[in-house]
Structure 1
Amino acid sequence: MVQPNGVVSIIDELIRDRSLLKHPFYRRWTAGTLSADELRDYTGQYYAFESALPQVLSVLLSRTTQPEHRQAILENLWDEEHGADNHAELWLRFADGLGMDRTSVTGAELNPSTRDLVDSYRETAQDAPVSAGIAALYAYESQLPEVATVKLAGLDPYGVPEESRTFFKVHAHLDLEHSAAERRIIEDAEPDEHEAAIAAAVRSLDAWWSFLDAVDSLSERSSRA
């Protein structure tokens, strides 16, 4: 039997092994060597996940019975979706800073890996134990503070104005709170849910790497055009 804190330790080790910052696409972002077209393509693809996240959280909230867990998920959902500065809107402001038409972002043609990423979260939220759905979120959101900080530092070569960088500034600190709450929910999981939580984290990490593989391949597609 895996001990409660052992589940999170296993997931944390998986995250370290498949850290998103190790992916070539993010390494090139950090180095400032992405083309403007690559960054715009990524922006349209990522919006599909960002706009779907409140729905994923809503499903998990509807399936959660423990009050403290419901409160944590509700706070995450509130942060994502409330008000004029909701996170999808902040992402669109980033697109504004790249000179993109918003309809090209909201109506972007999704590649198969992006669709698989979004589907993986929706399916896990709906069909797996709630703790597994939370583990899928944790596998991503626990990385976001560092990822957002690194991305923010790598935006200077692209001339993105300060008002279009808010999405990254917010996630550099907010997901410290979200991932800490997710960690507690995973630790509270019943023993028979541990394997599902680990599997969900693996699926999440695999989906994110596939997503980045797909956007990273734009340079190869462009060179063949």
Structure 2
Amino acid sequence: MNVAFERTGPLTELSSYPQWAQDMVASCAQDRQSVLDHELFQLMKEGELDTVSTRNFMVGVWPVIERFPGYMSHNLLKTRFGRSGGDNLARRWLVRNIRVEQNHAEYWLNWSDGAGVARHEVLEGNLPKGSQSLADWCEEVSKNDNLAAGIAATNYAVEGATGDWSQLIYESQAYAESLPETGRKASLRWLQLHAAYDDTHPWEALEIVCTLMGMAPPADMVEHVGECIRRSYVSMRVTLDRCLDARARLATLSDVAA
């Protein structure tokens, strides 16, 4: 019998969750770290990301930012009030946070403005080729997979890894100083809200996933959810790869070689 999960420990401590969830998170840790270690974020942290790659990043990631309330709405449609404790928890959380994500879209545009990429370019510019990988995957899993997989892939995996890299950039003095002093606070607002130490959304999502799946779900179910999480991290890396300007990277390598 699969016993229901009800968290008793602190929200943001992994030991508060079932052993299967702890093992699943551990199995995905290397893929998550690879997002944080991506060259684009390392360059951004040092204030050395070229203008083309900055433009590509702001424009290429925008579909995920703009569509994130839609991903959550797809998952909301899978819930039924009163069907289970997990459904009720997910329903309340999704309804409450969909509007919050809309505000985050405006903060992204403020960041883009500060980084020198006009909002009309973000809203109407051509996407870097292949940068839709993450947006397409989030749409697919949220629309077509089960509720636990959808929330795990988007609200846990994508928001969690985003918290990691947001903190990296937000804490960088070099990056902050690369932005115009006038309006800098507004430009950094998106990063501030998503920095890992300030964002509990991924942990709340993990609690929902565990409540939906219980203390001892079937092994194939756990493997599937874990694979969805890993695919989110891989899709993030692919999108970032497509945002880096190849010509700028070659020029940098040539300078180093010289």
TM range (shorter): 0.7 to 0.9
What is the alpha-carbon distance in structure 2 between the residues aligned to residue 51 and residue 220 of structure 1?
A: 28
User: Would you tell me which structure has more helix in proportion to its own residues?
Assistant: 1
Alignment partner, residue 18 of structure 1: 32
Q: Which has the larger radius of gyration?
A: 2
Conserved? CA contact 1:4–1:189, under 8 Å: no
Among 7, 11, 14, the residue aligned to 2:21: 7
Q: Which runs of 4+ in 1 moved over 6 A?
A: none
Residue 186 of structure 1 aligns with which residue? 209
Change (3 A) 1:206 1:88: same
Please state whether the residue corresponding to 2:48 is helix, strand or coil.
Answer: coil
Structure 1: distance between partners of 2:225 and 2:190: 28
Which of 140, 143, 161 is 1:143 aligned to?
Answer: 161
**Equivalent pair of 1:151/1:168 in contact (CA under 8 Å):** yes
2:202 corresponds to which letter in structure 1? S
- TM-score when scaled to structure 1? 0.86
Shift of 1:222: 7.4
Checking the alignment, whether the CA contact within 8 Å between 2:170 and 2:191 is kept in structure 1 is yes
Counterpart Cα distance in 2 of 1:41 and 1:88:
17
Instruction: Provide the C-alpha distance between the structure 1 equivalents of 2:100 and 2:161, rounded to a whole number of angstroms.
Output: 17
- Give the corresponding residue for 2:4: none
Of the three residues 132, 147, 159, the one matched with 2:179 is 159
TM-score by length of 2: 0.76
Partner SS state of residue 114, structure 1: coil
3-state SS, counterpart of residue 99 of structure 1 = coil
- Give the structure 2 partner of residue 199 of structure 1: 227
Q: Which ranges of structure 2 fall in alignment gaps of 5 or more residues?
A: 1-16, 81-86, 252-258
Return 5+ residue gaps in structure 1 as ranges: none
Task: Output the CA distance in 1 between the equivalents of 2:250 and 2:118.
Answer: 21
Q: Equivalences for 1:104-143 in 2 at 5 Å?
A: 104-137=121-154, 138-143=156-161
SS at match of 1:113: coil
For residues 219 and 118 of structure 1, what CA distance do their matches in structure 2 show?
25
Mapped partners of 1:211, 1:13: distance in 2:
22
Partner secondary structure for residue 18 of structure 1: helix
Residues in 1 aligned to 2:187 and 2:52: alpha-carbon distance in whole angstroms:
17
The Cα shift of 1:173 comes to: 5.7
Aligned to 2:99: 78
Q: Among 63, 69, 76, which residue is 1:54 paired with?
A: 69
TM-superposed CA distance for 1:8, in Å, is 4.6
Separation in 1 of the partners of 2:168 and 2:245? Answer: 21
Asked whether the equivalents of residues 167 and 191 of structure 2 are also in contact (C-alpha less than 8 Å), the reply is yes
CA shift, 1:174, in A, is 8.3
Question: Could you tell which deviates more after superposition, 10-19 or 140-149?
Answer: 10-19
Offset of residue 74 of structure 1? 2.1
SS state at 1:34 partner: coil
Q: In the TM superposition, what whole-angstrom CA distance separates every residue of 1:33-73 from its partner, at most 9, and x where no partner exists?
A: 21133212211111111001110001101112311111122
Q: Name the counterpart of 1:87.
A: 104
C-alpha distance in 2 between matches for 1:144 and 1:88: 14
